[in-house]
Structure 1
Amino acid sequence: MKLAYTISGPDTQAKYLAYRGELEDMLASLHEIGYQGVELFVRDPREIDLRKLGQLLELNHLELAALGTGPMVSEDQLRFTSLDGTIRNEAMTRAKAAIDLAARFGSQVNVGKLRGDIVQGDEAHTGRLRDRAIKELCDYAATKNVLITIEPQCRFAINNLKSTQEALAWLQEQQLPNLYLMLDVFHMNIEDKSIAASLIEAKNQTIHVHLADNHRGVPGTGALNFPEIIRVLKALGYDRYLSMEIEQTPSCYEAAAKAYTYIQKLIDDDGVIIEKVK
C-alpha cells in the first residue's frame, strides 16, 4: 500500500479537507514527511500549468495518485444531474479536462458530488442524466486509458449511491470496464453496517481508498478501528493508494505528518498494537 495526501489545486479558492498553500511548498513538505503520492483537488483543470505540475512532482518523487472533482461542485455548482443543460455541459467539459490531465500523469479521476443529486419527483429523468453522463465520461476516459472511480458518499453529502452496497449494485448495472469504486471510511462508517465487511465485498472493484477518522480528523484520533481496516486491506492484497482526506488542524503539515506516521506504522507492523495518536 502507498500513502497519498489530498492537496488543493492552484485553480481552487475554497478551503477543503486538503493541504493548502503554494504548490512548490505543499509537494516539498509531503515528500519530506514520506508520502509517495498526492491527490489533487481541481476546479477547472484547464487552468493547471501541467508543465510546472510535472516538474514539481518529479522533483519531489511524488505520483499523481488521483484527481478529485469536488471543487467543480462546491465552487461552481456543476452537476451531471442539473436540470439546466448549460450546467450539465460545463460539468462534462470540466470532467473531460480532468481526464486529459489524468492521462498526462497516469492517474485516475474520482467522481463524488459531481454526479449530482437525484431530484425528488423527477427521479427517473435525473437518474438517467447521471447514468448517461457517467457512460459518456467513461467512454471518453477509455480513449485516454484513464480509470474513473465513483465515491459512495453519505446522506449528508448526496442522496444517491450512498453505501458501498448501493454503489456495487449500480456498478454491476452499468457494466463499464473502466469504472471502479473509491471508498472513504468516513462515509462507510455512516452508511455501511461494517467497514471491514464492505472492504471485503468490494475488493475487486476498489482501486482507491480515503482515510479519515469518524470526526474527519487524523486517523487514530477518533473512534474508527484503523488497525482492523489496515489488517483487512493487507489480507485482501490491496496494493494501491490510501489517501488522507482530513481536517487540516492544527496545521496542514502537522495533520499530514501525524496521519502518515500512524498509518505507516500500521502498514509496517504485523500484530503490533499501535497506540492512538496524541
Structure 2
Amino acid sequence: MTARLPWPLAYTVSGDDCAPPMPLGFAAPLTEAVHALAELGYDGVEVQVRESGEHAAEALARTVAAAGLKVLGIGTGPVAAQDRLTLTDPSPDVRRHALSRLLGAARLAGELGVPVTLGQTRGTFLPGLADMQRGWAEHAVRQLAEEAADRGSRLLLEPQSRANTSLWHTPDEAHAVIDSLDAPAGLVLDTHHLDAEGVDVVRAVTEHASVTGCLQLAASAGRGPLPVGDPRLPVLFTALREGGFTGWLTLEHTQDGDSTKAAARSWTALDAAAAALS
C-alpha cells in the first residue's frame, strides 16, 4: 500500500476454479480483480482455490504479475464452502477427497513460494463421533503441514468461530496444534472470527504476532469494509509492530454489492489509520 505500513496489503480474490467467486472476496474474475486492486494501491492478493494444484502455478503467477501484484497466500475455503468437502466427514471417500484438494493447494503454494491456509475445511462434529473426527482432522493436518514444508510452503492454521467448525476456535487452541507439528507452521488471525468467539483482537495479536503469517481484517460490525476512523486499527498496527509480525494483511469481508468501492473504502481506512500512527 503506502510506505506508512511495513507489511504488504492483500485483498481476497477467487481463483479461476471458483464459480461463482467467494462472497468475502472481490466479486469478479481473477484477471479483472487484480487489475482493479492494483489501481487502488494494493500490493498483492490472497487467492482462494477450489481444486487448483501445482499445474496452475505458472498461469496464476502470470495473471497476477501482469497487474503488478504478488500472490501472498493460497486459501482453501472453497474446498468446504463450495464443494462441502471436509477432513471430518463421516465418509472416508469425502475425507480423502478433501485432503487431496488441500495437498494440491499446498503444492500450488509451494510452486509460488507462499503459505497455504486452512480454515473451515477441517469440518464439524456429529453427535457421538467427536473424538474420532478430531483424530481424523489432526492426522490430516499433520500430513498437510508436512506436504507444505516439503514443497517449500508453510501451513497457516486459522482459528475460526464455532459457526464454521468444531475445531480450534481460539488462537491459543490453534497455537497448541502448530506447536505439536513436526513441520513449520503458523497462524492466520481473522478479526471477524476472533470477535465472534469473544476473543480480544488486540490481545490475540499481541500474544501471537510472532507466529502469525497473516492478519485478516473486516469491520467489527457486519463484517463489511473497514470504516475510516476505526479506532482499533492504530492499536492493531502497534501490536503487530511490537510483536514482531512479518506477514501480510488481508482484507476479507463482504463486498456490499460493489467490490471496487468496498476495496477502496478499506484501503482508505487503513491508509488513514497508518497516517495517524506515524
What is the TM-score of this pair, normalised by structure 2? 0.90
* Structure 2 unmatched ranges of 5 or more: 1-6
User: Does 128-137 or 250-259 show the bigger shift?
Assistant: 250-259
**Please, which of 203, 207, 214 is the counterpart of residue 213 of structure 2?**
207
Matches of residues 167-178 of structure 1 in structure 2 within 5 Å?
A: 167-172=174-179, 174-178=180-184
Taking a change above 3 Å as real, the CA distance of residues 88 and 253 of structure 1, as seen in their structure-2 partners, is same
Matches of residues 1-278 of structure 1 in structure 2 within 5 Å?
A: 1-14=7-20, 15-46=22-53, 49-172=56-179, 174-214=180-220, 215-220=222-227, 225-270=232-277
Q: 2:190 touches 2:215 (CA, 8 Å); kept in 1?
A: yes
User: Does 261-270 or 100-109 show the bigger shift?
Assistant: 261-270
Distance 2:45 2:139 in 1: 30
Q: 1:146 touches 1:178 (CA, 8 Å); kept in 2?
A: no
SS at match of 1:180: strand
Render the CA deviation track for 1:132-171: whole Å, top value 9, x for unaligned.
Answer: 0001111111211110011111122212211112222333
Q: 2:56 touches 2:108 (CA, 8 Å); kept in 1?
A: no
Q: 1:2 touches 1:239 (CA, 8 Å); kept in 2?
A: no
Distance 1:269 1:242 in 2: 18
Distance 2:199 2:31 in 1: 41
Q: After the TM superposition, which segments of 4 or more aligned residues of structure 1 sit over 3 Å from their partners?
A: 46-51, 221-224
Distance 1:199 1:125 in 2: 32
Identity of aligned residues (%): 27
SS at match of 2:266: helix
* Structure 1 unmatched ranges of 5 or more: 272-278
Taking a change above 3 Å as real, the CA distance of residues 93 and 219 of structure 1, as seen in their structure-2 partners, is same
Q: CA deviation at 1:113?
A: 0.7
Taking a change above 3 Å as real, the CA distance of residues 222 and 191 of structure 1, as seen in their structure-2 partners, is farther
Distance 2:47 2:77 in 1: 10
Q: 1:219 touches 1:226 (CA, 8 Å); kept in 2?
A: no
Taking a change above 3 Å as real, the CA distance of residues 48 and 257 of structure 1, as seen in their structure-2 partners, is farther
Distance 2:203 2:159 in 1: 15
What is the TM-score of this pair, normalised by structure 1? 0.90
Q: CA deviation at 1:53?
A: 1.8
Total equivalences in the alignment: 270
